[in-house]
Amino acid sequence: MVPRVLAGGLSTEEILNRMQPVQDSIQKILDLAMSIEARALDLYQRAADRQPDKDGQVIQQQTVDEERSHLVQLCRLLEQVS
C-alpha cells in the first residue's frame, strides 16, 4: 500500500506530478529530492519544537538530524553531477 502523504507533507500524486517534467535531468531530480527532504526536515523540526515530552523531543530531533543528513548527501550528489 502506498501512503497518501509522504514525509515532506506532499501526497504521492503531488510528487509524481512534480516529477513528470523533470525526469529527463538528474540535476532536476536531485533538486526535487532536496526540496522534498527540506520540507520533511521542516515538518519534523516543527514537531520536535512542539513536543512537550523531553524524550519525545530527543526522538524527533533524531529524525530531524536524519533528514538533514539526507540533504547533505543529496547536495554532494548534485555537486558531483553539476
What is the count of structural domains for the chain? 1
The answer as to whether 5 is a domain residue is no
The answer as to whether 6 is a domain residue is no
The answer as to whether 7 is a domain residue is no
The answer as to whether 43 is a domain residue is yes
pTM higher than the cut 0.75: no
The answer as to whether 64 is a domain residue is yes
> What's the domain range around 26?
12-81
pLDDT tens track, the chain, 82 positions: 444 655 566 676 776 676 666 556 888 888 888 998 999 999 999 999 999 999 999 999 999 999 999 999 999 999 988 7
Report the b/e string of 1-23 with b at 16+ CB within 10 A.
eeeeeebbebeeeeeeeeeeeee
The answer as to whether 1 is a domain residue is no
Please state, as a whole number, how many other Cβ atoms lie within 10 Å of the Cβ of residue 46.
12
The answer as to whether 75 is a domain residue is yes
